[in-house]
C-alpha cells in the first residue's frame, strides 16, 4: 500500500551539472517499506503549491482522490521518482532521491526548480510503499517495481538521465546478489545531457557500461536507439527480420485526447495488450528500457518488430515526453 509521508530535507549534494542528490528524513518515514532489493521502485513526491504549502491528507481516505479534489491553486505539483537509496541514519530512515535538473529553457518544471533550490529543513510529501503487515513471499512482485529479470542469462539496461537513478540502484542491488548473478552477463547503455554527468556505478562482474552524451542539439534518446540497434545486430542469436512483424502495433496510450507515456512490461500493458499467455523462456535476454517516451517507443519497435524479441522479455517505460516540463 502506498501512503503519504511528510519528510524534510536533511542533506543536498550537487553530483554534476544536471543532477542533485537529496536526502530526506522525518518520523513519518518510519513506515516506509525498506525491504531490499529496491531495484527500480517508484515513489511519488508532492512539492509545495503556489502558496508554498502542502495540504494535509487524511490517512483513512484515498490520498489521490483528496489531491484531485483540491482547487488547482492549492494542488501541490506531483512527480514520480525512482528510489536511489534507503539508509538507516542517526535519526531513523533516510530516503535518497537523485533529481534531474534541466538547463534547457522551458524544460525545468516546478519539481526541478524546487530541487535546485532545496535547503535543509524544506518539506515535501513522499507517497511511498509502507512496510507489509506480513513478510512477502520470496519472488512475489512488489508494487512499484518493474525490473523482473527472473531467469535471464543476460540483462540489457537502456536509459537516459531520468532512468539513471533507477539503473544505478538496479546495478547496486544486483552487485549485492553475487550468488544469483554470477553467471549473468549484462550490457548497460546510458545517455545524459553532457559528459560531466557521467557517474561511477557499482556493477556486478560481467556487466559493461557504455555512456553517451548529447552533442549538437541531438534529440534525447537518439544515441540509445543507435546503440541498441548496433548491439542487436552484432549479437549471435538475434536475427533481424526481413519482413516486419504485425505483432507490435505499439503506440503511446491516450487519455482525454492527450498522448500519455508508453508503459509496457511483462506484467502490465498501458495499451491493453493481452499478456496472459506470455511465458518467460530460460536462458533468455531480458531488456529494461526507460526514458523519453518517443525514444522508448522506437526502441520497443526495433526489439519486438524488427528483431522479434518476445514481449515477455522486455519492459519499456516512458518516464517523460518531449514538449512537456520534465520535472
Q: Does residue 316 share a domain with residue 223?
A: yes
Residue 180 lies in a domain: yes
Q: Are residues 112 and 219 in the same domain?
A: no
Tell whether 125 and 169 lie within a shared domain. no
Which of 225, 229, 224 has its CA nearest to residue 211? 224
- Predicted local distance difference test score (pLDDT) of residue 261: 77
Q: Decide if 143 is inside a domain.
A: no
Q: Are 300 and 314 in contact (CB under 8 A)?
A: yes
Q: Are residues 89 and 173 in the same domain?
A: no
Q: For residue 3, what is its C-alpha cell? A: 501512503
Specify if 147 maps to a domain. no
Please state, in angstroms and rounded to a whole number, the distance separating the CA atoms of residues 324 and 77.
Answer: 14
Same-domain pairing of 169 and 122: no
The pLDDT of residue 56: 93
Alpha carbon distances (Å) from 49 to 11, 118, 222, 285: 22, 15, 35, 44
Supply the CATH number for residue 31's domain.
2.40.30.10
In a domain, residue 48? The reply is yes
Residues 300 and 250: beta-carbon distance below 8 Å? yes
Question: How many Cβ atoms from other residues are within 10 Å of residue 241's Cβ?
Answer: 10
Say if 171 falls within a structural domain: yes
Judgement on whether residues 204 and 119 belong to the same structural domain of the protein: no
User: How confident is the model at residue 63, as a pLDDT?
Assistant: 94
- 121 with 170, same domain? no
Output the pLDDT for position 251: 46
pTM over 0.85: yes
Q: Is residue 325 part of a domain?
A: no
What lies within 8 Å, CB to CB, of 133 at 6+ separation is none
CATH number where 165 lies: 3.40.50.80
pLDDT at residue 96, rounded to an integer: 99
Nearest one of 22, 66, 73, 31 to 52, comparing CA atoms: 73
pLDDT score of 275? 53
According to the model, what pLDDT value does residue 92 have? 94
Sign for the CA dihedral angle at 172, 196, 95, 270 comes to negative
Claim to verify: residue 272 and residue 172 sit in the same structural domain: yes
Q: Nearest to residue 278, comparing CAs of 270, 267, 294?
A: 267
Task: Give the pLDDT confidence score for residue 134 in this predicted structure.
Answer: 63
pLDDT in tens, the chain (327 residues): 899 999 999 999 999 999 999 999 999 999 999 999 999 999 999 999 999 999 999 876 799 999 999 999 999 999 999 999 999 988 899 999 999 998 666 667 899 999 999 999 999 999 999 988 666 655 567 899 999 998 899 999 999 999 999 999 999 999 998 666 668 999 999 999 999 999 999 999 999 999 999 977 789 999 999 999 999 998 856 666 555 444 444 444 433 333 467 898 887 665 555 555 555 565 689 999 999 999 999 999 999 999 999 988 999 999 999 877 655
Residue 275 in domain: yes
> Are residues 81 and 185 both part of a single domain?
no
Please check whether residue 134 lies inside any domain of the structure.
Answer: no
Domain membership of residue 47 as a residue range: 2-129
Say how many domains are in the chain. Answer: 2
- Give pLDDT, residue 137: 55
117: CB partners within 8 A, 6+ apart: none
Amino acid at each position: 500500500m502506498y501512503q503519504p509521508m511528510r519528510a524534510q530535507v536533511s542533506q543536498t549534494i550537487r553530483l554534476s551539472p544536471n543532477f542533485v542528490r537529496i536526502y530526506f528524513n522525518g518520523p513519518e518515514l518510519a513506515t516506509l517499506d525498506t525491504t531490499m532489493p529496491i531495484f527500480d521502485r517508484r515513489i511519488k513526491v508532492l512539492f509545495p503549491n503556489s502558496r508554498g504549502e502542502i495540504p494535509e491528507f487524511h490517512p483513512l481516505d484515498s490520498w489521490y482522490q483528496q489531491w484531485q479534489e483540491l482547487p488547482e491553486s492549492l494542488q501541490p505539483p506531483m512527480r514520480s521518482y525512482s528510489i536511489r537509496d534507503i539508509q538507516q541514519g542517526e535519526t531513523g530512515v533516510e530516503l535518497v532521491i537523485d533529481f534531474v535538473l534541466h538547463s534547457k529553457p522551458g524544460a525545468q518544471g516546478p519539481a526541478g526548480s524546487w530541487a535546485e533550490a532545496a535547503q535543509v529543513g524544506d518539506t515535501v510529501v513522499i507517497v511511498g510503499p509502507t512496510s507489509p503487515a506480513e513478510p512477502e513471499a520470496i519472488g512475489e512482485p512488489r508494487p512499484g517495481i518493474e525490473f523482473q529479470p527472473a531467469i535471464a542469462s543476460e540483462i540489457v539496461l537502456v536509459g537516459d538521465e531520468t532512468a539513471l537513478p533507477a539503473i544505478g540502484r538496479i546495478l547496486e542491488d544486483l552487485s549485492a546478489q553475487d550468488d544469483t548473478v554470477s553467471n549473468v552477463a549484462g550490457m548497460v547503455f546510458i545517455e545524459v545531457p553532457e559528459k560531466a554527468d557521467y557517474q561511477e556505478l557499482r556493477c556486478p562482474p560481467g556487466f559493461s557500461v557504455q555512456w553517451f552524451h548529447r552533442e549538437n542539439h541531438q534529440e534525447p534518446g537518439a544515441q540509445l536507439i543507435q546503440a541498441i540497434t548496433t548491439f542487436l545486430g552484432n549479437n549471435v542469436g538475434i536475427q533481424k527480420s526481413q519482413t516486419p512483424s504485425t505483432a507490435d502495433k505499439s503506440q503511446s496510450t491516450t487519455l482525454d485526447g492527450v498522448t500519455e507515456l508508453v508503459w509496457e512490461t511483462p506484467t502490465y500493458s498501458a495499451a491493453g495488450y493481452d499478456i496472459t499467455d506470455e511465458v518467460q523462456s530460460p536462458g533468455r535476454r531480458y531488456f529494461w528500457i526507460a526514458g523519453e517516451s518517443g525514444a522508448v517507443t522506437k526502441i520497443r519497435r526495433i526489439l519486438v518488430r524488427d528483431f522479434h524479441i518476445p514481449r515477455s522479455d522486455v519492459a519499456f517505460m516512458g518516464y517523460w515526453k518531449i514538449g512537456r516540463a520534465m520535472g
